[in-house]
Amino acid sequence: MTLIEGHCDLAASTIVYDFDRRNTAFLTLTTRHDDDDDDDEGMNGLFPSAASSSGGKPVDLLHAGSTPGALDPSQRDRILREPGSRLYFAAFDPLTAGGQGASLDFRKMSLSEEQYRPKRVVIEVFPNGQSTWRFVPRAKLDDGVIEEGFWPRVIDICGQLVNCTQEQWDIYKLDPLYDCAVNAYPKITTITLRQTPLPRPPSPLRKRPHSSSSPGEPLPATKKVHYEASVTMRSVSSLTSEESDTDTDVEAEEVEEMVTDELFRPNTPTLAHGKRFKPSSPAKPTIRRTKPISQAAAAPPPPPPNPISYHQSRQSQSMPPENQKRKAFEPTDITNNPVMEEAHLADDEGPVRKRGHFEPYSMPDRTTSPGVALRQRQAKRREKQFLKRERWEQVLQAKRTAREQRLMDEIMADVPPPVPPQGSSSMGSSSSGSPSSLDPDEAARLAAIEESRRKLAELEADRPLWDAAARERRAKEEAEEEERRRKAEAKRRAEEQRIKQARERQAQKEREEEDRRRREELEREAARAKVARDREARKARWSSGRWTHSRAVERFSETCDYFDMTRFSETHPLTIEDVPWPTLVHPRSFSLEDIEWSSVEQFFDVLRTHLRTQEYVAVVEKCHRRFHPDRWRSRNLFKAVLDPSERNCMEVAATTVSQAITPIWQKVRAIRQA
């Protein structure tokens, strides 16, 4: 595992790790650190030891962070793999670490979403910047305890109360010298010393052991060895099995299986894996593939701490089984052939690879079919799923049993002690021999049983009364329900009838209104037609024949009677032919532009010669009132004109006639007064 991104501050930070360059796990990491963690004097002053703590006041470890040795200074040598390393704790989620193609069917075995929480992981960062990780072992849980609880809280460390954080709790779980146990309520969590200290397991992920050579001595050239993913995860699993319990082993195996399944997929070659060198001279085509003899450095690297090495794994893969027939060509193992080993070492001494030295390379014999490994992994996965299901069923059964027992205890606690009958003493003395020989618990149990039997007998005696009361209550409820249904049905029918009648009345009213509108429209059409006919008849009467002043006076008199008696409106509009204009112009050639002051005076001069004086005075007074603007507004004559332009012209003409008649009316008035 390589640290590719990190940022830490006093509050929180997020570190992203590349898991074997193929699986990425996002770990949310919370860190707390001081300015100088190597200052032992400051740490001893901040975190007092168990001997210096006073009374029952808990020791505060809230500011200790992830630094080991807050109470036990020797704890650093047992936990840290190199002096000066820093510890970071995080949560490892198998779903995130497995990638998109990982098989996560084992998650479906959980009975609830709360059961597959992320596992605690400790990350140790060395002073040179490299890092390694491992699982944090789980603590021992009492019966009925399913998790370690929330932090921080007060725990007991070797008889001393300490306000501990989750980081310090994980540090003590990593320490092989201590046993961590989560007790059931009301006991508190305890950390005790082990009877026999466990030896520290070897570090499988360290790059190389510390060398005692001098700083000036040149180091031998190293060779990059690409270990198989299964070997790396196997070493992680071996370390985890030594430091954790059975549940931690199962989790490590699940992570190993996910990573192995992911790595078994074919990967596209990249530049990081190196390029294959072609021979300089053309070679004859052969059926078998060719491979360079040497790909190692001048000096072999130190073997990894894991007992399963790279060459051993290659030997185990290349050796055929004994019960199979030996093939004609076998792969060459450079670890057991001294000549090949020397060539292997000498090939990488120079800075440039040698080209052109190839030997035929045969594929190793496949000892098993491709489906065997897959079937084995599937069988192993099914077995782990079955074990997980069994474990959860046992946990649920234990919780169910404890709940039932607690419920029974609460019920029995409410039962009053029984009163023994009068003949019980004699019967007890005759059966047991003496009162002192009867067990008090047995007597209480027998009394409780007798009391329960008595209550059951009383209930059975009252059962007929209860049944009769229940039947009566049920019959009454059914009758009430039937009455409610009947009333609701009657109300519904009445409402429907009312709505139906209202709709019928509304429809009848609408039909009557429609008939009335139709009749009125017909009447208006008939009136308009009659008016049009009368207008056409009048127009035809005065348009034919010879036009004289006598006919002009006669037409004026007839039009005045029609204009005064008719009520003009929008339904009976007013037109130019309906107004008695005082003019001598022929009706066929008449227009409103012919209405002038002189034409009006000329008409009244002619009118004076055709009428007697009294008749003339009366006609002038009526004409003065008829064309007065206030008179036209009171009769709404201008609104009866439908054409706006015609209405404006008619208003100007009526005003002109009124102004022209006013002097004539004044003269007639003076004559009348004389």
- Cβ count near 601 (within 10 Å): 14
Highest mean pLDDT among 51-60, 106-115, 149-158: 149-158
Q: What phi and psi values does residue 434 have, to the nearest 5 degrees?
A: -150, 145
- Helix, strand, coil % (nearest 5) of the chain? 50, 10, 40
Is the distance from CB of 657 to CB of 576 less than 8 angstroms? no
What local confidence, expressed as pLDDT, does residue 96 receive?
64
Mean pLDDT of 404-408: 86
Q: Is residue 300 part of a domain?
A: no
**Which of 293, 422, 424, 278 has the alpha carbon at shortest distance from 356?**
278
Instruction: Examine the domain organization and report whether 490 and 584 are in the same domain.
Output: no
Q: Rounded to an integer, what distance in angstroms lies between the CA atom of residue 605 and that of residue 586?
A: 18
Q: Rounded to an integer, what distance in angstroms lies between the CA atom of residue 146 and that of residue 115?
A: 9
Q: Is residue 307 part of a domain?
A: no
**Which of 64, 86, 176 has the alpha carbon at shortest distance from 133?**
86
Q: With b meaning 16 or more CB within 10 Å and e meaning fewer, what string describes 362-373?
A: eeebeeeeeeee
Instruction: Examine the domain organization and report whether 582 and 466 are in the same domain.
Output: no
Q: Is a pLDDT exceeding 90 seen at residue 125?
A: yes
Instruction: Examine the domain organization and report whether 31 and 88 are in the same domain.
Output: yes
Instruction: Examine the domain organization and report whether 118 and 237 are in the same domain.
Output: yes
Q: Is residue 485 part of a domain?
A: yes
When mean pLDDT is compared across 77-86, 317-326, 388-397, 429-438, the lowest value belongs to 317-326
Q: Rounded to an integer, what distance in angstroms lies between the CA atom of residue 374 and that of residue 418?
A: 68
Peptide bond into 351 cis (omega under 30): no
Instruction: Examine the domain organization and report whether 252 and 112 are in the same domain.
Output: yes
Instruction: Examine the domain organization and report whether 475 and 493 are in the same domain.
Output: yes
Q: Is pLDDT larger for residue 658 or for residue 322? A: 658
Is the distance from CB of 40 to CB of 63 less than 8 angstroms? no
Is the distance from CB of 167 to CB of 89 less than 8 angstroms? yes
Considering 497, 523, 544, which residue would you say is the last residue of a domain? 544
Question: Look-up: residue for tokens 């000892």?
Answer: 367
Q: How confident is the model at residue 279 (pLDDT cuts 50, 70, 90)?
A: very low
Highest mean pLDDT among 44-53, 239-248, 350-359, 446-455: 446-455
Highest mean pLDDT among 159-173, 266-280, 300-314, 331-345: 159-173
Q: Is residue 338 part of a domain?
A: no
Q: Is the pTM of this model over 0.85?
A: no
Helix (H) or strand (E) holding 314: helix 310-318
In the chain, pLDDT over 90 holds for what percent of residues?
22
Q: Rounded to an integer, what distance in angstroms lies between the CA atom of residue 251 and that of residue 138?
A: 11
pLDDT in tens, 516-556: 999 998 988 888 888 888 878 877 777 777 888 888 888 88
Instruction: Examine the domain organization and report whether 76 and 190 are in the same domain.
Output: yes
Q: Is residue 102 part of a domain?
A: yes
Q: Is residue 419 part of a domain?
A: no
Helix (H) or strand (E) holding 13: strand 13-19
What local confidence, expressed as pLDDT, does residue 384 receive?
93
Q: Rounded to an integer, what distance in angstroms lies between the CA atom of residue 139 and that of residue 153?
A: 16
Considering 529, 544, 559, which residue would you say is the last residue of a domain? 544
Domain span at residue 495?
A: 446-544
The single-letter code of the amino acid at 294 is S
Is the distance from CB of 340 to CB of 293 less than 8 angstroms? yes
Sheet strand arrangement including 160-164:
59-60, 160-164, 153-157, 190-193, 178-182, 140-141
Helix (H) or strand (E) holding 161: strand 160-164
* CA dihedral angle for residue 77, residue 83, residue 84, residue 88, rounded to 10 degrees: -50
Q: Is residue 482 part of a domain?
A: yes
Q: Rounded to an integer, what distance in angstroms lies between the CA atom of residue 251 and that of residue 240?
A: 9
Specify the pairing of strand 190-193 against strand 153-157.
parallel
**Through-space distance between the first and last CA atoms of the chain, rounded to whole angstroms:** 137
Instruction: Examine the domain organization and report whether 131 and 249 are in the same domain.
Output: yes
Q: Rounded to an integer, what distance in angstroms lies between the CA atom of residue 369 and that of residue 414?
A: 69
Q: Rounded to an integer, what distance in angstroms lies between the CA atom of residue 475 and that of residue 431?
A: 53
Instruction: Examine the domain organization and report whether 49 and 94 are in the same domain.
Output: yes
Peptide bond into 435 cis (omega under 30): no
What local confidence, expressed as pLDDT, does residue 46 receive?
34
Q: Tell me the average pLDDT of the chain.
A: 70
Task: Locate 134 and state its tokens.
Answer: 């491992």
Q: Rounded to an integer, what distance in angstroms lies between the CA atom of residue 456 and that of residue 463?
A: 10
**Which of 20, 92, 93 has the alpha carbon at shortest distance from 261?**
20
Total domains present in the chain: 3
Task: Locate 192 and state its tokens.
Answer: 């005790």
pLDDT in tens, 130-145: 999 999 998 999 888 8
Specify the pairing of strand 13-19 against strand 23-29.
antiparallel
Q: Is a pLDDT exceeding 90 seen at residue 396?
A: yes
Per DSSP, the residues of 341-366 read HHHHHHTTSSSS---S-EEEEPPPP-
Task: Locate 344 and state its tokens.
Answer: 């292997």
Q: Is residue 369 part of a domain?
A: no
- Cβ count near 474 (within 10 Å): 10
**Which of 399, 135, 120 has the alpha carbon at shortest distance from 256?**
135
Mean pLDDT of 585-598: 86
Q: Is pLDDT larger for residue 129 or for residue 330? A: 129
Question: Which residue(s) pair with 191 in the sheet?
Answer: 157, 180
What local confidence, expressed as pLDDT, does residue 389 receive?
93
Q: What is the number of alpha carbons within 13 Å of residue 625 lying toward its C-beta?
A: 8
pLDDT in tens, 225-237: 443 333 333 343 3
Instruction: Examine the domain organization and report whether 552 and 531 are in the same domain.
Output: no
Q: How confident is the model at residue 199 (pLDDT cuts 50, 70, 90)?
A: low
- Cβ count near 443 (within 10 Å): 16
Considering 261, 287, 308, which residue would you say is the last residue of a domain? 261
Per DSSP, the three-state class of 33 is: coil
622 Cβ contact list (under 8 Å, min separation 6): 560
Instruction: Examine the domain organization and report whether 160 and 177 are in the same domain.
Output: yes
Instruction: Examine the domain organization and report whether 109 and 188 are in the same domain.
Output: yes
Per DSSP, the three-state class of 312 is: helix
Overall size of the chain counted in residues: 674
What local confidence, expressed as pLDDT, does residue 5 receive?
33
